[in-house]
Structure 1
Amino acid sequence: MSREYKNVISQIFKYLAISLVFMVFGFFVGQRFIPQEYIYYANRIIAILGVLFVLLAIFSRKRIIPSRFSMNYVYLFTFIDGILMYPLFQYYLYDLGIGLFVSIVLGTAVLFGVLSMVSSRKSGGYYLGLGNILFAGLVGLLVLGLINIFFGGARFNLVISAISLLIFTGYILYDISLIKYSVENRFIKDKNDLSIHVLNLYLDFINILLNLLNIASYLDD
């Protein structure tokens, strides 16, 4: 593993950690200002947020979102995301209990770290071949998500979560491989070139976390 790659990946993970802090801060802001009764709409919220996250993932993969922008926009997005996810996280805290909730968060972090390490040990671009399959999965997930908003039930929601979990675990392998490939080919020149990678990894992490929480909630009933 090249020293340059280590430096870039350490920077990306630093910005990702800051992004997660902004998300947590947004959660507490949401707790302060969003009415408590919104928690009762958590099932509908997860369906809508799921579609929005998939759309954002599609936009970022297809360069509809610019590949180069200020990291401050990532922090702003994650802060707003934390506010919007307050009812959902609060629902899972009530439903699963703080112990299981924290365990799933830590489990997500461990899974994220292991997959990142697996991908980083391969040559740059090793997992880029997964791109077309994963993107097709995203499009299928978007269709299923839209159906789920209007016609879905608990079991259908569980199936979507399982499929989404597989897709976004695959995207961790893909995104880390893409970063390594970009470093080797000198596509990353400054901080703003890292922003799209930080956003993509944030979406990977949050989608995996939400899907694991949803699966655990279903199995806990």
Structure 2
Amino acid sequence: MEALQTRQRSMFQKVLWVFAVSLLFATAGLYTGRFVPPGLMMPLMVAEVAMIIAAFWLRRRKSVGYLFVYAFTFISGITTYPVVAYYASVAGAEVVLLAFGSTFGIFAVMGTIGAVTKRDLGFLSTALLVALLALIFIGIFSIFSPLTPTGLLACSFIGAIVFSLYIVYDFNQMKHHSITEEMVPLLALNLYLDFVNLFINILQILGIWGSDD
């Protein structure tokens, strides 16, 4: 029993390590985004979405590898650059730093809550998925009919709540279910998606408020 718990802790730590490395790749991608022509951003975004779909299709075969995760997070960093650059220009670079710090703090708190909660929160999966699909639908709709600042602010608040709950959920599931070596890359990818989406929503909230000053 003790050996099993030790292995579980080891795998849990490995997931966090891969997640941390993925953030470094995303940061490198964010820096690279400064030099990527605007015309390439849309193809990269399409590639990013295709990789997400592929990741969740491949998870049944446990075929998501480390190279896949690092490539995805690098591309994700590139596609995140226009959002970061926009809010840095309209609200100031300090807003970006505040958003990152807030995201890191919320991630740490929610992750701790999920890891120490004794109850298995697996029952939240359906509700979180429905909320996520609703956010995706709104995001697609906003491409054709842009949201007002108030509407974007409301969606960003909802998005921040949803991804905060996803952090709790993902950490909780790692605690209550065995982690195998093959699962590590995908679990780290889940955490990265939680983190980056929470960051973007918080950045939008602070950016909208900051631009109104």
| TM-score when normalising by structure 1 | 0.80
Aligned runs of 1:69-80 on 2, under 5 Å? 69-80=64-75
Shift of 1:3: 3.4
1:196 maps to 186
Asked if 1:134 is matched to 2:149, the reply is: no
**Residue among 53, 57, 69 paired with 1:64:** 57
The one of 150, 155, 158 equivalent to 1:160 is: 155
Q: Conserved in 2, the CA contact under 8 Å of 1:59 and 1:65?
A: yes
What secondary structure sits across from 2:59 in the alignment?
coil
Corresponding residue of 2:29 = 26
Number of the residue aligned with 2:200? 210
5, 10, 18: which one aligns with 1:7: 10
SS in 1 for 2:177: helix
CA contact (8 A) 2:128 2:166 kept: yes
CA deviation string 1:142-181 (max 9, x = no partner): 2222222212222221221111111111111111111112
Return the alpha-carbon distance in structure 2 between the equivalents of residues 97 and 160 of structure 1.
Answer: 22
Q: Which runs of 5 or more structure 1 residues have no equivalent in the other structure? A: none
RMSD across aligned positions (CA): 2.5
Q: 1: CA distance between counterparts of 2:69 and 2:162? A: 22
Say if 1:166 and 1:73 are closer, same or farther in 2 by CA, change over 3 A.
same
Q: Which amino acid aligns with 2:59?
A: P
SS of 2:117 mapped into structure 1: coil
Which 4+ residue blocks in structure 1 deviate beyond 6 angstroms?
none
SS in 2 for 1:64: helix
1:74-117 CA-partner distances (Å, limit 9, x unpaired)? 00001111112222111122223222321220111111011111
Output the amino acid matched with 1:17: A
Aligned to 2:106: 111
The 8 Å contact of residues 95 and 207 in structure 2, kept in 1 or not, is answered as: no
Alpha-carbon displacement from aligned partner over 1:119-149 (angstroms, at most 9, x marks no partner): 11123x6211111111111122122222222
Aligned residues: 199
Instruction: Provide the rounded CA distance (Å) in 1 between the counterparts of 2:96 and 2:36.
Output: 23
Counterpart residue identity of residue 187, structure 2: H
Contact (CA 8 Å) 1:16, 1:198: kept in 2 or not?
yes
Q: TM-score, normalised by structure 2?
A: 0.83
Show the counterpart of 2:20: 17
Q: CA deviation at 1:59?
A: 7.5
Identity of aligned residues (%): 27
Contact 1:148 1:156 in 2 (8 A): no
